[in-house]
Amino acid sequence: MMIQFLLTTILVYFFGGFIGYAVHWMFHQPWSGVFYKVHKTHHEVKYPSGSFLSDEYRSAGKDNTSPYFILAVIILLLPFFIMLQLFSIPTWIIVTIIVESVVIGFITNYMHDSLHIRGHFFEKFRIFRKWRISHRIHHANVRYNLGIISFEWDYILKSWRRPNIYKN
């Protein structure tokens, strides 16, 4: 059971990263309608490339992307969970997938908000500073660095752009 748990955790991280990447990519496509509109507010109004950092997080208010991101993920994953039930996958595996997905989602959302806050506690960590520069590249050109803090899918799908800081 421990090996199944570890394997499930690794697969959720890997494929969950793809879902996050795909949803974020979708938010940048005009055909996604309301998803595109609310995410565009984050990029063009709240955090345009020239005003990427703030002393506090600039809430998008009614145009907050998070509820739309959650809705998009639920829509994408619902058929997957139905399939798991049809194939009689043990409940503990389904619960593990859900819990890990929620935890990763909250961590990513918190880290994303932190990337935009000047003087954030995490600035003392080199990895955070690298993530911030990588995310700033995304705000300058939305085709690149869609992963926020996890860039495996950017590498795989050729949307990664390397910041100069990585040359050190």
Report which of 117, 118, 113, 104 is spatially closest to residue 152, judged by C-alpha positions. Answer: 104
Nearest 5°: CA angle at 102, between 64 and 98? 135
In a domain, 15, yes or no: yes
Model confidence pTM above 0.85: no
The token duo for 116 is: 């935009």
Range of the domain at 76: 2-118
Give me the torsion for CA of 77, 104, 48, 126, rounded to 10°: -150
Which of the given ranges, 57-61, 142-146, 160-164, has the highest pLDDT on average? 142-146
In a domain, 72, yes or no: yes
The share of the chain scoring above pLDDT 90, in percent, equals 26
In a domain, 76, yes or no: yes
The torsion angles phi and psi of 54, rounded to 5 degrees, stand at -140, 160
In a domain, 158, yes or no: no
Q: Is the model's pLDDT at 128 over the cut of 80?
A: yes
In a domain, 140, yes or no: no
pLDDT score for 168: 39
**2-27 vs 34-41: helix crossing angle, rounded to 10:** 80
Q: Is the model's pLDDT at 72 over the cut of 80?
A: no
In a domain, 19, yes or no: yes
24's CB contacts (< 8 A; 6+ apart) are 69, 146, 147, 148
* pLDDT greater at residue 33 or residue 19: 33
In a domain, 7, yes or no: yes
In a domain, 96, yes or no: yes
Q: Is the model's pLDDT at 145 over the cut of 90?
A: yes
pLDDT score for 104: 84
Number of domains in the chain: 1
